[in-house]
Amino acid sequence: MFIHETHLPQRLGVQHYTSPEHLDREVETMFLPGWHCVGTLLDLPRDGDYLTVTLFGRPVIVWRSGGDVHAFLNVCTHRFSLLRDEPCGHLDGHLKCQYHGWEYDDEGNTCRIPDARSFRPMEKGRLGLTKYRCETAGQLVFVTFNDDAPPLAEWLGEELFEMCRRWFSTAHRKTVNIDIDHDCNWKVVIENVLEGYHIECVHPNSFRTYPDPERCAHEFHEHWDRYTDDYSKAGLYNRQEKFVSRLAGVEPDYVWHHLLRYPNVVFGKMGLFTWVQMVWPVTPHTSRAMWRIVHYPGQPGRLRSWLVHRMLKGWGRKFMTQVVGEDTAIYPKIHRGLAAPVRPNGGLISIREERIFPFQDYVLKDTGSEPAEPQIDKIP
Ligand code: FES
Ligand SMILES: [Fe+2]
């Protein structure tokens, strides 16, 4: 059942989706202080592997080296070239700049400078890379730009941190990675995944209809929320789930889980699939999302697990890509309406969509903004 008994007002106004000043405040107060999942250890399977990502205009390189994962500003201290620019790759030995070949160790210290004589005098070890804090939760790799941020386990909270360890364990395998640009404000994406009300219009073939409220539960905490849908009585899903779970050697979990750690870390679980979805603003009108979807095929090393892996990977890729594509197609259309300079009377959040309300409240509080003039009172 849902928590509220009546519909709620839309609290964000046009400026919250369009203003560059508001976006600057969001970045400053909501994004830079926190942690950001930038990938998984499945993206960095070998020592020497790296990935690059740009967050809030800052190029970042994440490098697995010496059995640990390290993050740096992806800018060389010589003449500020990007160290590497491929989305991912492998380095034998040191982190080497692609321009003149300066090399850095995994602490970010310079360790080889070609023709070093021509830079004399230069104090040894003075020019190091800018290093960022990097931690893992299960196989998820997080980075923060904030030296004063609490440890990741504290920032996520015990329950979510433990959940990451279970949902992204070393026995989980990669289903599919999706990295996608959206033509909409980042909050359009988050608000969309917080509600299943759009299912009948946007995903008629993928999900058919939304669940009965009796099956659903919402839970709100200070920094995160959770939605669960207990589908143990929905016949078709039930049988499929039972079959695959037994093959993987686990008890079936007939509950769909969906969580948001404010402002932008989304977690989901559907049967043996789990995922993290990150959404980052690029401009007020554009955003970028990163999905890392994994599945649990059973304990490694068994033929049966390999078969389950092949089956889940094939089906999961197709299904998740289809669902993400359906949502992506509607985003620019939602954004253009939300960004229109005039609005009609209205702005209603149904109780089925009630997760949007605390999310909007979080945005307003963190950025110190005023809510939109309530249009809802004008509804007769
Ligand atoms: S800019 Fe990197 S080595 Fe010159
Ligand atoms: Fe959707």
Task: Please tell me the number of the ligand nearest to residue 194's CA.
Answer: 2
State how far the Cα of 304 lies from the Cα of 299, in Å rounded to an integer.
9
Alpha carbons 370 and 353: distance in angstroms, whole number: 22
DSSP H or E stretch at residue 248: helix 235-248
Confidence (pLDDT) at 236? 56
Check if 343 has its Cβ closer than 6 Å to any atom of ligand 1. no
Residue-range domain boundaries for the chain = 1-34+152-371, 42-148
- The per-residue pLDDT for 237 is 60
Residue 113: which residues within 8 A CB-CB, separation 6 or more? Answer: 78, 102, 103, 119
> Which CATH architecture does the domain made up of 1-34+152-371 adopt?
Alpha-Beta Complex (3.90)
Nearest CA to ligand 1 atom 4: 100
Query: What does DSSP say about strands 8-9 and 35-40: parallel, antiparallel, or unpaired?
Result: unpaired
Per run of 10 residues, the mean pLDDT along the chain (length 380 residues) is 89 96 98 98 98 97 97 97 97 96 95 88 81 98 98 98 98 97 98 96 88 92 96 72 88 93 97 97 98 94 89 96 97 97 91 96 95 61
- What integer pLDDT is reported at residue 133 of this predicted model? 98
81 lines ligand 1 (CB under 6 A): yes
Task: Give the count of beta carbons closer than 10 Å to the beta carbon of residue 28.
Answer: 13
The CATH class given to the 42-148 domain equals mainly beta
Strands 131-137, 8-9: pairing is unpaired
Q: How close is the Cα of 118 to the center of ligand 1, in Å?
A: 14
82 CA to middle of ligand 1, Å?
Answer: 8
Give the per-residue pLDDT at 263: 98
The angle at the Cα of 181, spanning 272 to 171, to the nearest 5 degrees, equals 25
Closest CA to 372 of 352, 351, 342: 342
Q: Looking at ligand 1, which residue's alpha carbon is closest to its atom 3?
A: 100
- Residue 121 burial by CB count (10 A; 0-12/13-18/19+): exposed, middle or buried? exposed
- Enter the tokens of residue 78: 């010589």
Identical fold, 1-34+152-371 and 42-148: no
pTM score of the predicted model: 0.95
Helix (H) / strand (E) element for 218: namely strand 216-220
So what's the pLDDT on residue 379?
A: 47
pLDDT score, position 372: 84
